[in-house]
Amino acid sequence: MLFESVLITIATAATPLLLAAIGELVVERSGVLNLGVEGMMVMGAVCGFGAAALTGSPWLGVLAAVAAGSLFSLLFGFLTLSIATNQVATGLSLTLLGLGLSSMIGEAFVGSAGTKLPTLAAGLGAVPVVGPPLQNLLTNLAELPLIGRFLFGQDPIFYISILLVVGVAWFLFRTRAGLTLRSVGDNHASAHALGINVLGIRYLAVMFGGACAGLAGGHLSLVYTPQWVENMTAGRGWIALALVVFASWRPLRVLAGAYLFGAVTIGQLHAQAMGFGIPSQLLSAMPYLATILVLVLISRNRRLTLMNTPASLGQPFVPDR
């Protein structure tokens, strides 16, 4: 039971990181560097929680979180793609805007009771005809020893995150559209010369990344800790950005990296609970120290740093300039 409980808590901690990172991976593969992930996550968290609290439906909260992230990403896209502002400065500005705006919106929800998203099995029970049999099947499978609840007793967003990794990997490396997106990220001038709509593809990529970041924020406020707390993303957006580099822009490596960082996060919580003679502040900083350590190790190997890096990453594109 302890092993299974640890697995579940690691998955819960890793899911928002995985969602935000897989969305950012697609964005960066298109040649856009979005440093506003943290702001989009926190906006998804507050809008998701607010919608769920006002309507009583966590499912509407999930939709609101996705919509908030997408709308925020459209603002980023308009500034960096249509107006060609500096992507780094714009992303940082939107992160600050998101943190401030979420605090203002969320002030009314501080201390409010949260509405937690049910597990997939519980949610299927409300589906007519096919729902109850599927619910019974998942409930029975969740009773399997060691990994039953981990595989079959999770919330729907957990399964969405895994499907997104598989879907993104298939899209990028097995479809013509994925090849087109990667070509835009590698050389937007050549792609434009071939008649590819560079800005259109980048807009779609940015919106996808924003939707994933918003969903990651919704997971925090509807599953991880079903309540609203100011700045509850706590730097997870920055860790997601580091994960993309750590994974050298490969989806399956993002999955492994997210669960590694999730294990570090849960590990420091268990270490505090077991009363190790280490300052709690240092233990709380472990996920961020691990992020810095990974980035330092990667930066020492230039070949690894350049591997799969989109050549046009961060470079603005203005047609016919």
Of 272, 264, 284, residue with least CA distance to 10: 264
Instruction: Supply the pLDDT for residue 275.
Output: 64
Please tell me the least confidently modeled range out of 93-107, 145-159, 287-301. Answer: 287-301
Instruction: Supply the pLDDT for residue 8.
Output: 86
User: pLDDT (tens digit, 9 = 90+) per residue, 143-193?
Assistant: 877 787 888 889 999 999 999 999 999 999 999 999 999 999 999 999 999
Q: pTM for the full model?
A: 0.92
What would the DSSP string read from start to end of 119-169? PHHHHHTTSTTTHHHHHHHHHHHTTSTTTHHHHHSS-HHHHHHHHHHHHHH
Q: Is the Cβ–Cβ distance between 36 and 72 less than 8 Å?
A: yes
Across 7-19, average pLDDT: 92
Res 130 pLDDT > 70: no
Distances (CA, A) of 84 to 30, 76, 81, 318: 15, 10, 5, 7
Domains by residue range for the chain, with CATH:
2-117+155-306 (1.10.3470.10)
Query: CA 89, CA 87: separation in Å to the nearest integer?
Result: 6
| Residue carrying structure tokens 């020893």 | 145
Residue 158: phi and psi, rounded to 5, are -60, -45
